[in-house]
Structure 1
Amino acid sequence: MLTWDDLTSRPRPACDATIVYGEDAMHRIDLWRPAGDGPHPVVLMVHGGCWQTEIADRRLMDWAADDLRAAGFAVWNIDYRGVDRAGGGFPGTFRDVAAATDLLRATAAEWRLDPSRLVAVGHSAGGHLALWLAARGRLSPASPLFTADALGVPEVIALGALPDLEAVAASPDNGCGTAVIDRLVGTDRANRFTDTSIPPLLPLGVRQQLVNGREDRIIPYRFATDYSAAAEAAGDAVALHTVPATGHVELIAPGTAAWTLARRLVAAALSRGSPGG
């Protein structure tokens, strides 16, 4: 199994631009744009790190973003305030990823991007957030997280994701622990999972590709099988891709079987296009 050092010790590639969308240092988006005039198809990328800035930020995805850029895709690699940062948690973390996502549509012409060809890729906790971004149209207008006219996300590729926050909160064997969930969803709302966790928002009405390492010691494999079964039962189109001899790091490390599969799924999603944007 790869370690984080195996990934982060690689030469770090550079993005093409960094876009500011708010006042916090985490209110940043790195744009990776391929050669050519465009407009380019776009990968909306969401990093993981157990929803905690201290663990990871958008730079953890630099190597994956660079690999997608080399394959001809633009990458909109968003950052956000984790639960351990002032203003993060509920509702700040969710509002951050929503604002960073919606800015894609507002600035697409400026950056020569095509939001009608869009796929979201999220890793670990970022897999949950990527699915949540695709689920925003299911939110009640009464929710503090509701956004009118949110950018549609027609397909999500979730890599070692944690879609069910209630399951995470009840599972001490997950690599993020359980205490982080209270900080993410709040403790003073009776229905705190209904607008933050993915299962209560099913069906999402978008394609969902789950990629999981069978030997992932950070994200228990049952998170993938349980969520996949629930989403399919609700009527969603879900595919679970299980990669043998694979842990958590391999899911975003170019050159591995898991990342090669993820990149192939990205290409397939963007070749289909969408009415989103």
Structure 2
Amino acid sequence: MTRRHRYDYGPDPSQWGELFLPDLPAGARHQGVVVVIHGGYWRSTYGAELGEPLAQDLAEHGMAAWNLEYRRTGNGGGWPGTFEDILAGIDKLADLAEPQALDLGKVVALGHSAGGHLAVWAAGRHKLEGLVPAEGGQVKNTDDGVRLTGVVSQSGVLNLGEAERLSLSDGAVANLLAGPSSEFPERHRYADPMAALPLDIPVYAVYGIKDGDVPLGMSTSYVDASQSGPVPAQLVMVPGDHFALIDVTAEAYLTCRALVGRLLR
């Protein structure tokens, strides 16, 4: 049996999250939280409905899950709104910790595709202060708030520079950042998870061997660049395509769930 509670973290219709909670014995606390961040190349075509089955499944397996919605391009997001929302949405957990008996000692993000980018980016928030762009549209609130203690990236777009070079999804990166890197180099560097390396938390880059939507290099280039850091990222190859990673019946997703559980222990 699970319980669901929806909370707003801002005034925009897309600034909300839904908390999925397993039943606990009286007086017990949930051991950590999983922040589920959906993909869709940062566009408004896709929303938190993609993350809902994952959050429900995680709760059914004893984990508190926060299915996070955020502004995307086409509905007020992009630069800097999407980035502000991811941080503010994660930070909302601080308000929910006491009333919902959440232990924020371990907060793990599970992000799919563009959501994997946002999850790994948020994990490096404490490294971003020196990268704040000077050309306007600055993201607020970088070095305070709730810190992620681990990330499972599900075919995440983890190398934004390479994604722009490849023009993935018809120029999705330039669309997200309201212009190309030739025009806004600082903004692009700030938004790229590669710029925050090395991290001191574990990152699992999970990739489906039949993925035809996001190239393998989005994961391998990040993992390779992380190897000199204190906690190198790990590449995990799984069966299936891009969407097997968010199919709660597929082996690819079951591997992701097991990795999330490992990070919460």
- Work out whether the TM-score is over 0.5: yes
1:194 CA drift (Å): 2.1
Q: For residues 12-63 of structure 1, give each alpha carbon's deviation from its aligned partner in whole angstroms, at most 9, with x where no partner exists.
A: x996111011111111101100011442121011110110121x11111111
1:184 is aligned to: 176
How high is the sequence identity, in percent, across the aligned residues? Answer: 30
Amino acid in structure 1 at the alignment position of 2:8? V
1:95 CA drift (Å): 0.2
Taking structure 1 as reference, are residues 113 and 189 closer, same or farther at Cα in structure 2, changes over 3 Å only? same
Aligned to 1:113, the other structure's residue is in SS state coil
The within-5 A match list for 1:73-88 is 73-86=63-76, 88=77
1:46 equivalent among 37, 52, 59: 37
Amino acid in structure 2 at the alignment position of 1:49? G
Asked if 2 retains the 8 angstrom alpha-carbon contact of 1:169 and 1:177, the reply is: no
Asked if 2 retains the 8 angstrom alpha-carbon contact of 1:137 and 1:150, the reply is: no
Which of 259-268 and 186-195 deviates more? 186-195
The within-5 A match list for 1:113-262 is 113-140=102-129, 143=132, 144-147=138-141, 148-172=143-167, 174=168, 176-178=169-171, 180-187=172-179, 188-244=183-239, 246-262=240-256
Taking structure 1 as reference, are residues 230 and 61 closer, same or farther at Cα in structure 2, changes over 3 Å only? same
What is the TM-score when the length of structure 2 is the normalising length?
0.90
Aligned to 1:194, the other structure's residue is in SS state helix
Taking structure 1 as reference, are residues 53 and 24 closer, same or farther at Cα in structure 2, changes over 3 Å only? same
Aligned to 1:115, the other structure's residue is in SS state coil
Q: For residues 83-140 of structure 1, give each alpha carbon's deviation from its aligned partner in whole angstroms, at most 9, with x where no partner exists.
A: 1112x11110000111111111132111221111221110000000000110100012
Which of 185-194 and 211-220 deviates more? 185-194
Asked if 2 retains the 8 angstrom alpha-carbon contact of 1:50 and 1:125, the reply is: yes
2:12 is aligned to: 24
Which of 67-76 and 226-235 deviates more? 226-235
* 1:33 to 2:21 alignment: yes
Amino acid in structure 2 at the alignment position of 1:22? G
1:265 is aligned to: 259
Asked if 2 retains the 8 angstrom alpha-carbon contact of 1:119 and 1:155, the reply is: yes
CA distance in 1, matches of 2:121, 2:18: 20
1:201 CA drift (Å): 1.3
Taking structure 1 as reference, are residues 53 and 123 closer, same or farther at Cα in structure 2, changes over 3 Å only? same
Amino acid in structure 2 at the alignment position of 1:177? D
What is the TM-score when the length of structure 1 is the normalising length?
0.86
1:235 CA drift (Å): 4.6
CA distance in 1, matches of 2:87, 2:106: 18
CA distance in 1, matches of 2:72, 2:146: 22
1:196 CA drift (Å): 0.4
Provide the alpha-carbon RMSD of the alignment: 1.8
Amino acid in structure 2 at the alignment position of 1:120? A
Amino acid in structure 2 at the alignment position of 1:145? V
CA distance in 2, matches of 1:146, 1:250: 35
Amino acid in structure 2 at the alignment position of 1:85? N
1:70 equivalent among 36, 60, 73: 60
Question: Number of matched residues?
Answer: 253
Asked if 1 retains the 8 angstrom alpha-carbon contact of 2:106 and 2:148, the reply is: no
CA distance in 2, matches of 1:15, 1:249: 26
Taking structure 1 as reference, are residues 186 and 75 closer, same or farther at Cα in structure 2, changes over 3 Å only? same
